């Protein structure tokens, strides 16, 4: 039985004063007087507990807004775009003069079953974010993998501006080579200008340092005076912005029809990049688009003087066939020396494309310029 009803019945049947009942049970006597008035006016139904919901709520959004929020949530999610409360708020603001707050939209999504609160997750404001101060101050570059309709695996190279999150390059290839990385990078420079620095992991298509050589991208960046930085091994968080971009892109691609060819996949990627750069509000940019942030400030430029090129000294031994191998700008060159020198220890001096091969006694065996288009030098 409800406590208020119980006390009113005691008052009526036993004659216990209202003030005494209220003091003994930790209740305010005005509440018991209100119940008593209801009983006298309505009888027993007057003592039935009633909802405390207000008769009207001026701040409550209309059902039409709730339905529009749900429609936006479904349409954005089905298309593979971000469909959070903040993104929905931006879309509503483009259609109406007054729109519900982000927190109100979140409550609607929660009430409709689209959002499950996760209080155990670490709050976003506890993370320390690092971002370049200017556009083109640093680009992050990395590859990710997706599958075509026939199950074949292909690679996508993404290049992101660290300051604005602008995608400056995104191209799909069956398998990326170092030369193709340079081609995508050069195309991005042609559109957005050269960055001051580039950040990548230690993949073989980006660096040849672990092979004691100079890769194609390293040589290209050195010639432009661009600083080349690498994340430490097994620490993808250093390249976190491009890694997060991979996730956003693949979420969109997962919602599209499985592409049957690289050309179809590239068309899907191009549509995504256009939307991501110019339409989608970015949470970490104050709900502005990457294109807006990129164009808002002056651009950084390469700070290092252009490098003189590839300068190396390498010791090797001529193979039984009278040849040596040399990797230059991501290409493997087979250099003919001659069978007469088979087994001989030599020193290889490389300066740009100029190569000098010298015997242990210091005698010049060959001097020539590498052909960048070929893989064999005779």
- Say whether both 246 and 369 belong to one domain: no
132 lies in a domain?
no
For residue 366, the cross-strand partners are 357
The domain boundary residue, chosen from 92, 121, 150: 121
For residue 158, the cross-strand partners are 142, 170
pLDDT computed for residue 374 by the predictor: 57
129 lies in a domain?
no
> In a 10 Å sphere around its CB, with 0-12 CB exposed, 13-18 middle and 19+ buried, how is residue 8 labelled?
buried
pTM for the whole thing? 0.59
- Say whether both 282 and 195 belong to one domain: yes
Tokens of 371: 């052909």
First-residue to last-residue Cα distance in the chain: 102
- Say whether both 189 and 233 belong to one domain: yes
Do residues 330 and 216 lie in contact, with contact meaning Cβ atoms separated by under 8 Å?
yes
- Say whether both 71 and 111 belong to one domain: yes
Query: Between the CA of residue 25 and those of 16, 36, 189, what are the distances in Å?
Result: 13, 16, 78
CB atoms within 10 A of CB 86: 14
- Say whether both 271 and 315 belong to one domain: no
187 lies in a domain?
yes
- CATH code where residue 235 lies: 3.30.420.10
- Say whether both 39 and 159 belong to one domain: no
pLDDT computed for residue 134 by the predictor: 93
pLDDT tens for residues 92-143?
A: 888 888 888 888 888 888 887 787 766 666 665 555 567 889 999 999 999 9
- Say whether both 164 and 195 belong to one domain: yes
34 lies in a domain?
yes
Q: One digit per residue, pLDDT tens: the chain, 378 residues?
A: 477 777 777 777 778 888 888 888 888 888 788 888 887 888 777 777 777 776 665 655 666 677 888 888 888 888 877 788 888 888 888 888 888 888 888 888 888 778 776 666 666 555 556 788 999 999 999 999 999 999 999 999 999 999 999 999 999 999 998 888 888 998 999 999 999 999 998 888 888 766 666 677 887 888 788 999 988 776 667 788 999 999 999 999 998 999 999 999 999 999 999 999 998 888 788 888 999 999 999 999 887 666 555 566 678 899 998 998 887 766 778 888 888 888 888 888 777 778 888 777 667 788 888 876 655 555
- For 18, the domain range is 3-47
53 lies in a domain?
no
- Say whether both 214 and 336 belong to one domain: no
Pairing mode of beta strands 139-147, 197-200:
parallel
195 lies in a domain?
yes
Instruction: State the sign of the Cα–Cα–Cα–Cα dihedral 281, 287, 292, 295.
Output: negative
Phi, psi of 59 (to 5 degrees): -85, -5
The domain boundary residue, chosen from 237, 264, 296: 296
Task: Return d(Cα 148, Cα 297) in angstroms, integer.
Answer: 39
> In a 10 Å sphere around its CB, with 0-12 CB exposed, 13-18 middle and 19+ buried, how is residue 264 labelled?
middle
Task: Return d(Cα 48, Cα 1) in angstroms, integer.
Answer: 10
Q: What is residue 345's three-state secondary structure?
A: strand
pLDDT computed for residue 141 by the predictor: 95
- Say whether both 315 and 209 belong to one domain: no
126 lies in a domain?
no
Angle between helices 29-42 and 3-14 (to 10 degrees): 70
Number of folded domains that form the chain = 4
127 lies in a domain?
no
Do residues 271 and 159 lie in contact, with contact meaning Cβ atoms separated by under 8 Å?
no
> In the sheet where 331-336 sits, what is the strand order?
323-328, 331-336, 376-377
Task: Return d(Cα 69, Cα 310) in angstroms, integer.
Answer: 58
Residues 6+ apart with CB under 8 A from 308: 351, 352
Task: Return d(Cα 81, Cα 279) in angstroms, integer.
Answer: 11
pLDDT computed for residue 219 by the predictor: 78
- Say whether both 288 and 325 belong to one domain: no
- Say whether both 39 and 93 belong to one domain: no
Provide, rounded to the nearest whole percent, the portion of the chain with pLDDT above 70.
85
Nearest residue to 174 via CA among 140, 201, 202, 146: 146
- Say whether both 117 and 157 belong to one domain: no
Phi, psi of 13 (to 5 degrees): -90, -35
């Amino acid at each position: 039985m409800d406590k208020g009803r119980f006390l009113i019945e005691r008052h009526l049947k036993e004659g216990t004063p209202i003030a005494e009942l209220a003091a003994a049970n930790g209740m305010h006597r005005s509440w018991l007087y209100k119940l008593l008035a209801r009983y006298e006016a309505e009888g027993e139904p007057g003592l039935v507990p009633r909802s405390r919901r207000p008769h009207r709520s001026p701040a409550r959004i209309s059902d039409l807004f709730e339905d529009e929020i749900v429609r936006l949530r479904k349409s954005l999610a089905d298309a593979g775009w971000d469909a959070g409360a903040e993104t929905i708020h931006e879309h509503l603001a483009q259609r109406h003069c007054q729109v519900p707050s982000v927190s109100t939209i979140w409550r609607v999504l929660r009430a409709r079953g689209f959002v499950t609160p996760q209080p155990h997750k670490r709050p976003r404001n506890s993370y320390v974010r690092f971002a370049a101060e200017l556009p083109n101050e640093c680009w992050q570059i990395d590859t990710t993998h997706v599958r075509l309709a026939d199950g074949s695996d292909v690679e996508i190279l993404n290049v992101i501006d660290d300051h604005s999150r602008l995608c400056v390059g995104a191209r799909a290839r069956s398998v990326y080579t170092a030369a193709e990385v340079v081609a995508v990078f050069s195309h991005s420079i042609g559109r957005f200008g050269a960055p001051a620095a580039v950040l990548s992991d230690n993949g073989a298509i980006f660096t040849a340092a672990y092979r004691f050589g100079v890769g194609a991208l390293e040589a290209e960046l050195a010639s432009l005076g661009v600083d080349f930085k690498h994340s430490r091994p097994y620490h993808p968080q250093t390249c976190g912005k491009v890694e997060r971009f991979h996730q956003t892109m693949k979420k969109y691609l997962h919602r599209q029809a499985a592409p049957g060819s690289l050309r179809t996949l590239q068309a899907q990627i191009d549509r995504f990049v256009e939307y991501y750069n110019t339409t989608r509000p970015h949470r970490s940019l104050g709900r502005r688009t990457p294109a807006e942030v990129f164009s808002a400030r002056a651009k950084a430029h390469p700070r290092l003087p252009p490098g003189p090129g590839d300068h190396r000294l390498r010791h090797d031994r001529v193979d039984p066939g009278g040849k040596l191998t040399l990797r230059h700008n991501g290409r493997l060159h087979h250099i003919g020396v001659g069978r007469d020198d088979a087994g001989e220890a030599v020193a290889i001096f490389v300066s740009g494309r100029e190569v000098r091969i010298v015997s242990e006694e210091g005698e010049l065996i060959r001097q020539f310029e590498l052909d960048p288009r070929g893989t064999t030098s005779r």
